[in-house]
Amino acid sequence: MQIGFVSAESGQGRAKNVRNILLKNSVNIMLCAVCWWAVGYAFAYGKTAGGLLGVSHFFSDGETFDSKPWFFTWAFCLSAVTIASGCLAERTHLFVYPVYTAVVSIVVHPVVAHWVWAPDSWLNSRIGCPCRFLDFAGGAVVHIVGGLTGLIGAILCGPRMGRFEDGVNKEIPGHDVSSVSLGSLMLWFGWFGFNCGSTYIYMADGGPAASAAVSRVALNMTLCASAAGMTSLVVASLQTGTFDLAVCCNGLMAGLSASTANVGFITPWASCITGILAGLLYVGCSRLLVRLGIDDPLDSSAIHCGSGLLGVVVSGFLARPAYVRSMVGRSCGGLVYGTRGGIQLGMQMLGLAVSIAWTAFWSVVTFVTLKRFNLLRVDQQTELAGIDNMEHGGPAYPEFLQRVQSSRTGF
Amino acid sequence: MQIGFVSAESGQGRAKNVRNILLKNSVNIMLCAVCWWAVGYAFAYGKTAGGLLGVSHFFSDGETFDSKPWFFTWAFCLSAVTIASGCLAERTHLFVYPVYTAVVSIVVHPVVAHWVWAPDSWLNSRIGCPCRFLDFAGGAVVHIVGGLTGLIGAILCGPRMGRFEDGVNKEIPGHDVSSVSLGSLMLWFGWFGFNCGSTYIYMADGGPAASAAVSRVALNMTLCASAAGMTSLVVASLQTGTFDLAVCCNGLMAGLSASTANVGFITPWASCITGILAGLLYVGCSRLLVRLGIDDPLDSSAIHCGSGLLGVVVSGFLARPAYVRSMVGRSCGGLVYGTRGGIQLGMQMLGLAVSIAWTAFWSVVTFVTLKRFNLLRVDQQTELAGIDNMEHGGPAYPEFLQRVQSSRTGF
Amino acid sequence: MQIGFVSAESGQGRAKNVRNILLKNSVNIMLCAVCWWAVGYAFAYGKTAGGLLGVSHFFSDGETFDSKPWFFTWAFCLSAVTIASGCLAERTHLFVYPVYTAVVSIVVHPVVAHWVWAPDSWLNSRIGCPCRFLDFAGGAVVHIVGGLTGLIGAILCGPRMGRFEDGVNKEIPGHDVSSVSLGSLMLWFGWFGFNCGSTYIYMADGGPAASAAVSRVALNMTLCASAAGMTSLVVASLQTGTFDLAVCCNGLMAGLSASTANVGFITPWASCITGILAGLLYVGCSRLLVRLGIDDPLDSSAIHCGSGLLGVVVSGFLARPAYVRSMVGRSCGGLVYGTRGGIQLGMQMLGLAVSIAWTAFWSVVTFVTLKRFNLLRVDQQTELAGIDNMEHGGPAYPEFLQRVQSSRTGF
């Protein structure tokens, strides 16, 4: 329990980045809670119907929560929603947030979670594969779902006004780099909750084996994040000549995302390698987004979708059979350990493919529908004046208005 | 243990609202710790003397803390103190804070806590009632005590200069809405500590029953807070036409306050209903304060006193007998379940009445005495110039002074 | 585990003080993690080689972490590094941070930790003393190591430009006193993690005795911090006539530092006395630094080194034999309890002397070497313009630059 709320608290860290998305994030949290209680939890963790979908425990019916506590699972769902919201900031219609939040927390995340984490889902037990798809704490279920939803939203929404004017890439800096940095560090430590908590769920009998596993998970995460943060910082500074705090923080986040899928299955050395790859991949993805003219204000898709992919693939190469056996009870492992490595790697690819396909399908449907009804983006006037002024304030709060303006010009 | 400090950490969230009460809040925390160690804990959780007052464990004497750990109980007392401090901000004499902190943490909160929570207090066992007063985690003991103390203080102190000038209601916006929002979210998650920790105290034998109860508590809180936040947001936006972040945050807080008294005793559906009522009640109370010309800078009394009342009353209607029995060992329940519902509802009313009477008595005595000695309010000159400049800074810190000024005018 | 990350999260609190050290602190964290994994943990907690140094578990080899979890021990090492970084802010070359971080986390902290905490180190078992050196949760190992390293760095680095111009003491106020205050409170509550977590390590068999000890530790810390904060506030206000928030916060920190070395070994009354002494000592040390012309922007050395010393000495006088026996298994105690008090006090002095000598030696070597190669301090031009502008920004981020400038002039 404990675990969940620190993680969720950390979710707020991102909220700091941009003041005018605070309300939207608050609404996301509240709506996601209701959706998750009503339907999402049931779809994800209820008794399976043919391996496709959970169909019990709607509205927390039956009151037994088995091994997966409601709050902890909600924190995962909320993370996916929050990751996506980062990509949509500063130009999206207020109506978009509740819509996509409902879609992600009712249809997208729960179904992927069921496929990936239910031991008796079609993916894990009905296709005759001796290995399970390995996603330790949500590399696919949270980070790819959230990052990809956000990426598709950002593409369909288009860039903010002035971001790529006349074909030139113009960075729009955040208003408070101190908040970004502190938020990232909070997220880092909140992440321990997700991964260490997941360890206890895999090893529910507890005891010294579970304690040792938690220690290893904490160490792996720390190394992966540190390696990724330092790698991005150094690589980016070689290109630009300056040390950029934001790149360092985002690299660190990328390292955490990359470690999420595999942190319990690999060794500390493998985590260092994963971290270095994640740092490089983040810098690359970030540049690719710019090259493609996609405006992701927080680089959320580069961080979460890119590294989520990497993390899942890493398990196919580096998962240590002894760890996999103790966690999920299958005698499988990554390619470098030889033990049926090809099968595990294939399984990772299959799981990735279906997660991506399901997420992409619903995101496209959602955002295209919103666009059709002209509900995706605020009008130009509102965007220029700032959404705060047009939708959340107005003449009723003159001092507040003044402050917002001054924070746009001066501060 | 764990639990307590996250809760307490969250207490700071409120501190962010207004910069010049940071020092006062720090002093409150420190003084409250000493008072609670010396006397408060003993009055509240010591061996009862005739059901009226605890009289053992002064200065942590005897070194045994039984089932109620010192730190956790201190966090409750501190919450009551902090809630009250919100109502007094920006115009109160520095001397007021230590005085009322001492009164609340020595006399008011401990006595109410003893009456409400000690199984052998006069209220719970000496009046021949088969039911106990139900206050799960401090709806009366913390929120009504804190909110009512603050309300009485705010009334006796009078509004800030310029708040109701010429009979017109002039909102005085906070200086940093981002802090308000993040503080609220932190409080939300800190609250899990209070409520889930309380569950373990009710069900000290632990085991799966306790785990299930903790899960239910976390779910109920989340639903109640979400429902309340969304309700206030929607209701207020219908009236004003804008979506106000502060209203949403305060509604959320009101939902949490309302859930505190009953979260372990009711079902998730009942929590949703409680949340909706709390959201409506908050908007109503907030308007009522303005109508009555009471200036509560943070709306603390509307949030905590109003919702605290609601939460206690809700138990009288909606408490589920099975939960009540498993928590407090009495075969009682709310009116809708029929099982001696009238008795339980009457008990709730009685408990409310004595909590309110005791709190009101001491608040009036304290603040009237302070007013008599002209120690309640800073003089006009200080209020206009800002308390920071007059009492905490001055010419020794020119840059700091400049910053404060600029934060008043520009930022 | 839990414990560690809240502590570490709190470490960020300090980071808020000064915006341009955020990157350096992030790098410190990441580099410290890698060093601690590779070598530091092994030197500190590995199997001892002649009582001088641990020599097993390099790169978390063997994968067994015994009773000391990696993450928790890393948080201690990181604290020492972070404390030192405070003293060096705003004038130090970017290159200094990785160098001293590596030295502290590879050579200084691990060796002192091994001497002080390994039961079979030369200090604790090979010099024929019936008592052990008592350092509950790092008074010497963390606070003296960090504070003294920082102090020596600050002396060798020299004051910031304009700090002591023409022999006059000119305070350079921080840019955001609200962050300082909230950071201190976060640190306070994070500290519970260190001390309560340490209690579980001393009393690994758990049970009610451990719970009672944790309760006592939490109470002692709270009282010591509260007494110290109020003492500094009152003493400083008697001298200056104003109530200074920063002094209160720093006094509180000093109380926490002072309690670290002894919190498990002394009574609540003794903690109050320790707190009062710590509050006085902090005000005195702070003035002494100014008198000596040493510029420590955050008063870190006054807080941590001074109070760390005090805390260790206090154990020699006030440690209660019953607590010492239950924690470390030796029948020793402080001077006031008579039980071989002189031996314990002598042991404390010996431990202090070797900790100080080892730390001072490496600090002098490190910073003198950096100075010789002219890598200690940024050039005058950079210092005047601000390190952010010269090394981290530049024309690529015009708006960001503008914001930094405005935050120097206005905000």
Q: Kindly determine whether residue C19 and residue A244, on different chains, have CB atoms separated by under 8 Å.
A: no
Q: Is it the case that residue C320 has pLDDT exceeding 80?
A: yes
Q: Is it the case that residue A240 has pLDDT exceeding 80?
A: yes
Residue B40 is assigned to a structural domain of this protein: yes
Window 332-371 of B: residues touching C by CB (8 A cutoff) are: none
Looking at chain A, how many residues does it have? 411
Q: Which residues of C touch B70 (CB under 8 A)?
A: 215, 218-219
pLDDT at A95: 86
Chain C CB within 8 Å of residue B34 CB: yes
What is the overall mean pLDDT for chain A? 82
Residue B119 is assigned to a structural domain of this protein: yes
Q: Tell me how crowded residue A208 is: count the other CB atoms within 10 A of its CB.
A: 8
Residue C214 is assigned to a structural domain of this protein: yes
Averaged pLDDT for residues A351-365:
97
pLDDT band for position B298 (cuts 50, 70, 90): confident
Optimal mutation site among B177, B194, B252, B272, interface A, most CBs of chain A within 10 A? B177
Nearest to C394 among A196, A242, A252 (CB): A242
State which residue of chain C sits closest to A225, comparing Cα positions: C30
Burial profile A215-233: b = 16 or more Cβ within 10 angstroms, e = fewer: bbbbbbbbbbbbbbbbbbb
What is the overall mean pLDDT for chain C? 82
Residue B385 is assigned to a structural domain of this protein: no
pLDDT band for position B57 (cuts 50, 70, 90): confident
Q: Is it the case that residue C257 has pLDDT exceeding 60?
A: yes
Do C208 and C239 touch, CB atoms closer than 8 A? no
Give the model confidence (pLDDT) of A308-347 as tens digits.
Answer: 999 999 999 999 999 999 888 888 899 999 867 889 999 9
pLDDT band for position B204 (cuts 50, 70, 90): confident
Q: Among A58-67, A131-140, B303-312, name the one with the lowest average pLDDT.
A: A58-67
Averaged pLDDT for residues B136-158:
94
Q: Which residues of C touch A170 (CB under 8 A)?
A: none
Nearest to B23 among C211, C216, C245 (CB): C245
B41 min Cα distance to partner chain C (Å)? 12
Give the model confidence (pLDDT) of A74-109 as tens digits.
Answer: 889 988 998 888 788 778 888 899 999 999 999 999
Instruction: Indicate whether this complex's ipTM tops 0.90.
Output: no
Closest CA to A259 of A163, A365, A385, A138: A138
Residues above pLDDT 90, as percent of chain C: 48
pLDDT at C65: 52
CATH code of the domain covering residue B176: 1.10.3430.10
Q: Which residues of C touch A168 (CB under 8 A)?
A: none
Give the model confidence (pLDDT) of B103-143 as tens digits.
Answer: 999 999 999 999 999 989 999 988 888 899 999 999 999 99
Render A34-76 in DSSP notation, one character per residue. Answer: HHIIIIIHHHHHS-EETTTEE-S-GGGTTS--TTS-HHHHHHH
pLDDT at C14: 38
State how far the Cα of B185 lies from the Cα of A26, in Å rounded to an integer: 8
Render C101-128 in DSSP notation, one character per residue. Answer: HHHIIIIIHHHHHHHHH-TTSHHHHSS-
Any idea what the Cα angle at residue B10 is, between residues C202 and B219, rounded to 5°? 95
* Three-state SS letters, B307-336: HHHHHHHHHHHHCCHHHHHHHHCCCCCCHH
What is the overall mean pLDDT for chain B? 82
Residues above pLDDT 70, as percent of chain A: 82
Nearest to A12 among B185, B245, B410 (CB): B185
Q: Among A12-26, B121-135, B248-262, name the one with the lowest average pLDDT.
A: A12-26
* Domain span holding position A130: 2-377
Domain count, chain A: 1
Nearest to A268 among C30, C31, C37 (CB): C37
Give the model confidence (pLDDT) of C167-183 as tens digits.
Answer: 777 776 665 566 666 66
Q: Is it the case that residue B399 has pLDDT exceeding 50?
A: no
Closest CA to B204 of B141, B119, B308, B103: B119
Window 148-207 of A: residues touching B by CB (8 A cutoff) are: 179
Name the residue type at position B142.
V
Any idea what the Cα angle at residue B16 is, between residues C83 and B32, rounded to 5°? 80
State how far the Cα of C59 lies from the Cα of C36, in Å rounded to an integer: 9
pLDDT at C177: 60
State how far the Cα of C23 lies from the Cα of B291, in Å rounded to an integer: 50
pLDDT band for position A180 (cuts 50, 70, 90): low
B389 min Cα distance to partner chain C (Å)? 10
pLDDT at C85: 85
Q: Is it the case that residue B10 has pLDDT exceeding 50?
A: no
Burial profile C380-397: b = 16 or more Cβ within 10 angstroms, e = fewer: eebbeebbbbbbbbeeeb
Q: Kindly determine whether residue A6 and residue C6, on different chains, have CB atoms separated by under 8 Å.
A: yes
Q: Which residues of B touch C3 (CB under 8 A)?
A: 2
Query: Which residue in this structure is represented by tokens 């080892």?
Result: C358
Between C165 and B267, the more confident residue is: B267
Residue C317 is assigned to a structural domain of this protein: yes
Q: Which residues of A touch B227 (CB under 8 A)?
A: 30, 34
pLDDT band for position C388 (cuts 50, 70, 90): low
pLDDT band for position C3 (cuts 50, 70, 90): very low
Residue B157 is assigned to a structural domain of this protein: yes
Q: Among A202-211, A237-246, B215-224, B371-380, name the one with the lowest average pLDDT.
A: A202-211
